Amino acid sequence: MIRYSEQCIDQKDISKVIKTLKSDFITTGPQIPLFEKNLSKKVNSKYSVVFNSATSALHSACLALGLKKDDRLWTSANSFVASANCGLYCGAKIDFIDIELETFNIDIQKLETKLYKAKKKKSLPKIIVPIVFAGQSYDRDRLINLSKKFNFKILEDASHGLGSKYKNKYLGGHKEIITVFSFHPVKMITTGEGGSAHTHNKKYYEIMKSVSSHGIFREKKHLNKGINHLLYEQRYLGFNYRLTDIQAALGISQLKKLDNFIKKRKNIANIYSKYLDNKNLILPTEKKYAKSTFHLYVVLVKNNKKKRDDLIFFLKKNKIFTNIHYKPIHLQPYFKKLGFKKGDFKNAEEYYEKAISLPIHPNLKKKEVMSIIKKINNFFK
């Protein structure tokens, strides 16, 4: 059986976790600030906050950016639902941006047109959440220019993108953007469940750090009276979004292998791109401005949805398991209740009808990749 993705855990990871389990701290302890420090160093962010999920990180970042009831948040129609749900948690109004059919990221030109229309109606978004789909960045500079022109904040959902680069700089280190990463088992590194948010803004950092732990501050400078380290003050309505020391220990160990994980994924992607049938499949492309982590390797079947589905079932029959990323958010039943309908974002819908995510992860052997390629190519003969 070949899975579409899986975690890559070795003895060093296990030993690091066991050492923490035997220590004095397994919930909130020294591994958490060390993991945050190592993450910041890797992506060149001034501040990092770790969370129990990327969803928690997205929600906390929305709160730090001041998103409130009836504000507007826009995100890509092609993403996991968390990219939109984070706005709903704050009572915001959600809308979507269609994608380009080359990278499957937001279409900046369509976004600009939508922004001009929204400006006339006085309904501009407060936050836009672009997706780093499959590990490849959208065109950041163009989006930043629009953010200055239309006065919105950028909350970057880079759940796929730890280690991704835009113009040779790591995502997570931009001064005007909050960037969120995921540490789910199929992502670039794992802490079991987990995520992080990265910023250069001290105020945003302090709010996210506080929100992740019930809205509580413990630092002396935030206390009105006393210097006792046992004192605390709740300044915000926060949540229990904390990562554990056990998970942070695993993250520290995993982070050391990130570059090697990316290298293995890129090697697999290169093999796919070299040998897969490009007459019947549209293969992924990598923009000059981006260096992808290849969290996913998504191909489009050129024919109809039935052909795509037939390929999925054919591969499953041969014990090769694939996935689809994603059903457009606006077509999910919950979002249909909010008024969205089929035909609203045609590129995302066309993509969904044809897309298939092929197996790609560091544990995948070359002979397995070649076997997958052979099965796919034979399917189209």
Do the bridges between strand 281-282 and strand 355-358 make them parallel or antiparallel, or are there none, so unpaired?
Answer: unpaired
Mean pLDDT of the chain: 96
CATH class of the region 258-379 = alpha beta
- Per CATH, 11-255 and 258-379 having the same topology is answered no
Q: Which helix (H) or strand (E) holds 324?
A: none
Residue-level pLDDT at 231: 76
Q: How far is CA 181 from CA 51, 227, 345, in A?
A: 10, 35, 26
For the stretch 57-89, what's the b/e string if a residue is b when 16 or more beta carbons lie within 10 angstroms of its beta carbon? Answer: bbbbbbbbbebeeebbbbbbbbbbbbbbbbbbb
Are the beta carbons of 4 and 355 closer than 8 angstroms? no
Domain parsing of the chain, residue ranges: 11-255, 258-379
Are the beta carbons of 96 and 129 closer than 8 angstroms? no
Q: Which helix (H) or strand (E) holds 320?
A: none
User: Residue type for 108, please?
Assistant: I
Cis peptide before 138 (omega within 30 of 0): no
Residue-level pLDDT at 230: 66
Q: What is the CATH number of domain 11-255?
A: 3.40.640.10
Tens-place pLDDT, residues 320-337: 999 999 999 999 999 999
Q: Does residue 191 surpass a pLDDT of 60? A: yes
Q: Which single residue is written with the structure tokens 């004192």?
A: 231
Are the beta carbons of 363 and 6 closer than 8 angstroms? yes
Residue-level pLDDT at 233: 84
Tens-place pLDDT, residues 250-297: 999 999 999 999 999 999 999 999 999 999 999 999 999 999 999 999
Q: Read off the pTM.
A: 0.96
